[in-house]
Amino acid sequence: MKKISIVIPAYNEEGNVAMIHQKIKKVFEGLHHYDFEIIFVNDGSRDNTQQKLEELSRQFDEVKFIEFSRNFGHQPAVKAGMDNAYGNAVISMDGDLQHPPELIPEMIKKWEEGNDIVFTIRTYPKEISFFKRKTSDFFYKILSSLSDVDLTKGGGSDFRLMDANAVEVMRGLNEDDLFLRGLTSWMGFKQTGIEFTACERLSGESSYNLKKMITFAFTGITAFSVKPLSIAAYLGFIFSAFSVVGYGLYVLYAFIAKTEISGWASLIMTIVFFGGLQLIIMGIIGIYLGKIFKEVKQRPNYIIKNKNFQ
């Protein structure tokens, strides 16, 4: 019998873990040829998620958990689950039922058809705020144009199935700024996508706010591409050429014609503009420098305090 491991990161999901287990169990009751396990990763929850997970794993053999020493974030939590998942295929999904377990049979079907990675494309229900929808779309557009990997296909969701082979590759990727959607896209293999409509959170609150989304966007761009650095270099060339052709000729003309050039305003404008531009470019270099700094320290992405795999 083939085994499917399901990885679920959980941060303050006390109200959801029992329900999601129920739903997944029900889905697998309809799938006779598959065994399953659920690996919950408690990412330093401050509510009773841990107690709930311990109860569940006492009651049900298929429920396993990993407890982090503190909150490390969604991406490290998914990675930890995958690092410890040894099913024939591994599915990662959110712990708030925004990723419908009812999609699992279709994912498995696509996998059985020979796909190594089955990603999902999220389409939005009307209730999701216009703002979030737009920022998300915008993010993936910018990201894809700045990045070297195509991120539009897997865009917007960490709900995906990976074959054990692909999971093995993922296990070996231990970079500091984890961005799993980009990494899976970058990995290659045979991939296909299916669409689903994200639902509202069952209970609790989303922990992604605008600031986190912007940080996430930066991670996505800088972890996959050095294009911002070359944009800086191009800007340098463009402005140098412009100053030689534009200002240089003008100054030369004024010199020959012996006319005075007045222009306090344009001078200040130019100084301030280029001051700002240089700071931005230094900031971009700084971001990459910071990444190198974090990467050389080789700290783990997460620390496991307790693990129950009976």
Which of Mg ion, ligand UDP, none binds 9 (CB below 5-8 Å, type-dependent)? Answer: ligand UDP
Q: Give every strand in the sheet of 89-92, ordered side by side.
A: 191-197, 117-123, 160-163, 89-92, 2-10, 34-42, 63-68, 304-308
74 binds ligand UDP (CB under 6 A): yes
User: From CA 224, how far away is CA 146, in angstroms rounded?
Assistant: 9
96 binds ligand UDP (CB under 6 A): yes
Which of ligand UDP, Mg ion, none binds 273 (CB below 5-8 Å, type-dependent)? Answer: none
In sequence order, which residues have a C-beta less than 8 Å from that of residue 171 and are 6 or more positions away?
A: 82, 83
Which of Mg ion, ligand UDP, none binds 51 (CB below 5-8 Å, type-dependent)? Answer: none
Quote the least distance from Cβ 51 to ligand UDP, whole Å. 16
User: From CA 59, how far away is CA 50, in angstroms rounded?
Assistant: 14
| Amino acid occupying residue 240 | S
Whichever of 76 and 87 has its CB closer to ligand UDP, that residue is: 76
Which of Mg ion, ligand UDP, none binds 234 (CB below 5-8 Å, type-dependent)? Answer: none
206 binds ligand UDP (CB under 6 A): yes
Whichever of 3 and 201 has its CB closer to ligand UDP, that residue is: 201
Which of Mg ion, ligand UDP, none binds 133 (CB below 5-8 Å, type-dependent)? Answer: none
Count Cα atoms within 13 angstroms, Cβ side, for 218: 14
158 binds Mg ion (CB under 5 A): no
Find how far residue 85's CA is from the centre of its chain. Answer: 20
Q: Torsions phi, psi of 18, nearest 5?
A: -65, -40
Instruction: State the number of binding residues for ligand UDP (CB under 6 A).
Output: 17
Whichever of 16 and 115 has its CB closer to ligand UDP, that residue is: 16
Residues 2-21 that bind ligand UDP (CB under 6 A): 9-11, 13
Find how far residue 284's CA is from the centre of its chain. Answer: 20
Query: Considering only CA atoms, which of 62, 95, 66, 98 is closest in space to residue 79?
Result: 66
94 binds ligand UDP (CB under 6 A): yes
Residues 95-114 that bind Mg ion (CB under 5 A): 96, 98
* Helix (H) or strand (E) run with residue 9 in it: strand 2-10
In sequence order, which residues have a C-beta less than 8 Å from that of residue 175 and are 6 or more positions away?
A: 223, 295
Stretch that binds ligand UDP, among 93-101, 137-145, 215-223, 232-240 (CB under 6 A): 93-101
Quote the least distance from Cβ 125 to ligand UDP, whole Å. 13
Residues 142, 132, 213, 89, CA torsion sign = negative
Which of ligand UDP, Mg ion, none binds 43 (CB below 5-8 Å, type-dependent)? Answer: ligand UDP
For binding to Mg ion (CB under 5 A), which residues are involved?
96, 98
For binding to ligand UDP (CB under 6 A), which residues are involved?
9-11, 13, 43, 71, 73-74, 77, 94-96, 98, 201, 206-208
